[in-house]
């Protein structure tokens, strides 16, 4: 336990929910981005899977939207300590996107419009754990929240859920993405409070 | 790892914002623009953590200054702005963040744009420029609700008087001083054109403030020809305990 803050009582959550350590509940949807919000037109949008050398799969918006979609409700946890529960989305599962990809590569680097990147082990985005989402709360995803489409990996801190996602490069070894190179944790499990590099 | 800082000074910037000066003996140093996590712990062990930008320049005295704006329904900011006293100890972690930073090696023109308490990390950059003897040309566009909402007013004036390579434009959204040339209002394309570096000088732009402010400032910067990869942002959203 830390040093007691004289006169601090705090405001405990009254809701009967369990949050990851160090998180607090919000009902807002705060926006955090490192740079300008890219405005990506749908006729130029594409999502590409490659292995660093070859393009393995590619969809334009029309082809992407013809893929089977899922609606799902998940909790999200931002490294800046807010958590938002029961958010509902519609998107295409990574299981669908990766279905015809045969690979022995174990890591993934997601890439976004605006040049953001984030790294994730491939095993964390398969088996119903990750989606490319294009609707939030039944409406088209707003640009400041990552529209036209963003990655969603709710079991990791939300910076892993890359906004404006445009593809993924499969890799043999893990490599840090944007925030992971700038002091944030390489994996980012909120339940183990892996916020910053050096956290166990 | 959590470090312990002792409050050595408190200074009210405005009716709702206070600067806390901490003495942190094992402070590892920071870069202008970085932030810290501050942890408060109640007597039963309950704790709450929030992030605040560092407002001070890196210094040899192991001093860290944070400016905290009191949020009406905040959990941590009311304590920090109203309860905390000189001599109290605070736990902090950091410095954190390696993107929204200015380093003294940068010699290109710098455009800073602050909305409200978003001035804090930008002030660290201005102070860092002065303390390192940098001659990089800086401009600050500082948007506030009213004259009484300005942080660091005297410090800014002193730095301005001392160095004509630093420019400052205030913009008021609700109430402007008497005879102010621009009527109160949100930032717009004309103001961005008047008060920021021409984009052909390829300034690096740092924009910090509430989400809607940052979104519009960045749109105006882009529309006037600034490249997205020269624009760095830090937003604090509706829950906003950041800053």
Contact B151, B69 (CB under 8 A): no
- ipTM, 2 dp: 0.84
pLDDT of chain A, 200 residues: tens digit per residue:
679 999 898 887 666 678 999 998 887 777 777 888 898 999 999 999 999 999 999 999 999 999 999 999 999 999 989 999 999 999 999 999 999 998 999 999 999 999 999 999 999 999 999 999 999 999 999 998 999 999 999 999 999 999 999 999 999 999 999 999 999 999 999 999 999 998 88
Residue A32 lies in a domain: no
| Domain that residue B221 falls in | 110-236
Q: Half-sphere exposure of residue A19, counting CA atoms within 13 Å on the CB side? A: 23
Give the domain CATH number at A89.
3.90.420.10
Q: Based on the domain organization, do B206 and B128 belong to the same domain?
A: yes
Give the domain CATH number at B227.
3.40.50.80
A-chain residues within 8 Å CB-CB of B229? 35, 115
Q: Half-sphere exposure of residue B8, counting CA atoms within 13 Å on the CB side? A: 12
pTM value > 0.95:
no
Residue B203 lies in a domain: yes
Q: Based on the domain organization, do B87 and B191 belong to the same domain?
A: no
Tell me the three state secondary structure of residue A31: coil
| Domain that residue A154 falls in | 46-192
Residue A85 lies in a domain: yes
- Whether residue B242 lies within 8 A of chain A, CB to CB, comes out as yes
Q: How many domains does chain A have?
A: 1
A-chain residues within 8 Å CB-CB of B93? 196
Residue A26 lies in a domain: no
Q: Half-sphere exposure of residue B190, counting CA atoms within 13 Å on the CB side? A: 6
Q: How many domains does chain B have?
A: 2
Whole-angstrom distance, CA of residue B40 vs CA of residue B48: 5
Q: Based on the domain organization, do B121 and B230 belong to the same domain?
A: yes
A-chain residues within 8 Å CB-CB of B97? 182-183
- Whether residue B160 lies within 8 A of chain A, CB to CB, comes out as no
Residue B101 lies in a domain: no
- Whether residue B72 lies within 8 A of chain A, CB to CB, comes out as no
Residue B242 lies in a domain: no
Q: Based on the domain organization, do B91 and B114 belong to the same domain?
A: no
Cβ-based neighbour number of residue A162 at 10 Å: 28
Q: Based on the domain organization, do B80 and B37 belong to the same domain?
A: yes
Contact B140, B166 (CB under 8 A): yes
Residue B188 lies in a domain: yes
């Amino acid at each position: 336990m830390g040093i007691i803050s004289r006169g601090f009582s705090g405001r405990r959550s009254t809701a009967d929910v369990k949050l990851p350590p160090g998180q607090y509940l919000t009902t807002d949807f705060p926006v955090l981005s490192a740079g300008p919000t890219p405005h990506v037109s749908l006729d130029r949008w594409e999502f590409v899977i490659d292995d660093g050398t070859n393009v393995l799969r590619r969809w334009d918006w029309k082809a992407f939207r013809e893929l089977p979609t899922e609606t799902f409700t998940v909790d999200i946890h931002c490294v800046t300590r807010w958590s938002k529960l029961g958010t509902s989305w519609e998107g295409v599962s990574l299981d669908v996107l990766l279905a015809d990809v045969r690979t022995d590569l174990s890591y993934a680097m997601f890439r976004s419009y605006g040049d953001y990147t984030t790294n994730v082990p491939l095993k964390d985005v398969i088996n119903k754990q990750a989606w490319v989402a294009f609707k939030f709360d039944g409406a088209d995803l707003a640009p400041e929240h990552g529209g036209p489409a963003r990655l969603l990996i709710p079991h990791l801190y939300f910076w892993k859920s890359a906004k404006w996602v445009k593809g993924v490069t499969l890799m043999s070894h893990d490599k840090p993405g944007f925030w992971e190179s700038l002091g944030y944790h390489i994996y980012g499990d909120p339940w183990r409070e892996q916020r910053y590099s050096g956290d166990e | 790892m959590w470090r312990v800082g002792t409050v050595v000074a408190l200074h009210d910037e405005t009716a709702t914002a206070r600067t806390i000066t901490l003495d942190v003996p094992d402070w590892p140093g920071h870069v202008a623009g970085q932030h810290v996590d501050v942890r408060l712990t109640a007597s039963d062990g309950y704790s709450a953590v929030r992030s605040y930008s560092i407002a001070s320049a890196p210094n040899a005295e192991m001093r860290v200054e944070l400016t905290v704006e009191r949020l009406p329904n905040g959990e941590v900011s009311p304590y920090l702005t109203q309860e905390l006293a000189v001599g109290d100890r605070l736990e902090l972690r950091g410095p954190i963040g390696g993107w929204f930073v200015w380093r003294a090696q940068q010699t290109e023109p710098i455009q800073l744009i602050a909305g409200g308490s978003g001035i804090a990390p930008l002030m660290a950059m201005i102070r860092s420029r002065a303390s390192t003897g940098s001659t990089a040309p800086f401009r600050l566009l500082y948007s506030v609700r009213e004259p009484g909402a300005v942080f660091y007013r005297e410090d800014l004036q002193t730095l301005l008087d001392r160095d004509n390579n630093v420019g400052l434009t205030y913009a008021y959204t609700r109430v402007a001083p008497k005879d102010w040339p621009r009527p109160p209002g949100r930032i717009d394309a004309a103001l961005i054109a008047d008060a920021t570096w021409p984009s052909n000088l390829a300034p690096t732009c740092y924009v910090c403030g509430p989400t809607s402010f940052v979104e519009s400032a960045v749109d105006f910067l882009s529309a006037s020809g600034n490249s997205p990869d020269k624009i760095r942002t830090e937003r604090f959203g509706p829950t906003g305990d950041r800053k």
